[in-house]
A and B are shown apart, each in its own frame.
Chain A
Amino acid sequence: MSILVRDPGLETTVQDTGRLGYYSIGFPPSGALDSFAYHVGNALVGNEPGAAALEAVYLGPTLEFTQATVIAVTGADIPAFVDGAEIPLWESVAVSAGSVLSFGQLRAGARPYVAVAGGIDVPLYYGSRSTYTLVGIGGFQGRALRAGDELAIGSDARDPRAGRRVDPDDVPVHPSTAEVHLLVGLHSYRLTEDSLARFTDTEWKVTPDANRVGYRFRGAELEFVPREQPFGAGSDPANVTDCGYPVGSVQVPGGVEPIVLLQDAVTGGGYATLGTVVSVDRDRLAQTKTGDKTRFVPVDLDGALSVRRDRHAALDRIRSALA
């Protein structure tokens, strides 16, 4: 039972919930960038929550299934076809042996996810099947898929069934201006008051440098409070003495082009962290593409926790409805 990759798309990788627990030794978690779409995909095909799925970006892959199974496409709004006939998104669909899944031109969002009953069966590496392409580990041979690859499908699907469907009210929309919540700190004091306000007032445009490592934005210049740099810090006013970077943290090297670090990013370094995108809002960021706009909406810690609680509750409710 396997999937034959006829066309890999742009940068399609095997991902799961991520390789958690090794951040302190410099290992980023990887894992599906849009966690909501990934988890709902698994629920639709009747998998256990951590089963591995495929994450594509901008261009969907063309995949042939060697045996009948159940699949679901979630995430970005993109036309998906089985043997040339369009299939609904956010719904489980039966495919026959020899069926081919293909994609049309992306309508909105950036990353489609393909969940398959049984999950993608690649070896666990440090507890995860997620691909970390920068160092070539995990996933399928540590890299993005290529034409001709053959992916094994797992056999431990809990309850594969076609026709499960997510309530349309629960399907995320992908506006061309995304709003993500930002917990301000730890080094926001390094920006002038005007610049900190400008950061949250600006509609930032996603540049072509936006991938699983991080998203770089353009839209304004920010100024730092002048100071004599402390021991160990570099000479760029954006530098601080090295520290850990939370996943989702925002830095602005040179005061231009802020970067949000994502699941494949470096775990620490010497740039001031202006704030951190609330974890569940990385899902929204993952569905923005080059040329889209993003606004950072400040929240305090209670606000951030409440955003996370609400999103987890929604996922639990959707899982129960699909069970």
Chain B
Amino acid sequence: MASHTITSRTPGVFYHRPSPDADPYVTEGASVSEGDTVGLVEVMKTFHEVKADAAGTVSRFLVENEDEVTIGQDLVELET
């Protein structure tokens, strides 16, 4: 099994879920297809969806909910 890392395309604050009361987009162990949303980055009061750029199984999150992230920072690790 190879691993693939989804990185952030914008700086901002990372969220696991679409809104505070909602379920997370994905959890560890979930399988995702390319193009699936795996999180949100909030910047400039707008929310930018983080999409999986490969298919695979979520092995772990590399940032915590509400962590500040930079461009190119590793967010989610997939087993592909």
A positions within 8 Å CB-CB of B: 10-11, 57-59, 105-106, 208-211, 289-291
Contact = CB atoms under 8 A, between A and B. Distances in A.
Contacts of A209: 44-45
Most A CB atoms within 10 A — which of B9, B11, B70? B11
A59 B49 CA distance: 13
Contact of A208 (B9, B11, B71, B72): B11
Nearest to B43: A208
A215 B40 CA distance: 21
Give the size range of B's interface with the partner: 10 to 19
Given A106-B71, A208-B68, A291-B70, A11 B46 contact: yes
B12 interface: yes
Contacts of B72: 105
A59 B44 contact: no
Contacts of A106: 71
Contacts of A210: 43-44
A208 B48 contact: no
Given A58-B71, A106-B71, A208-B68, A290 B43 contact: yes
A106 B46 CA distance: 18
B13 interface: yes
A290 B10 CA distance: 9
Contacts of B43: 10, 58, 208, 210, 290
B74 interface: no
A290 B71 CA distance: 9
B79 interface: no
Nearest to B12: A208
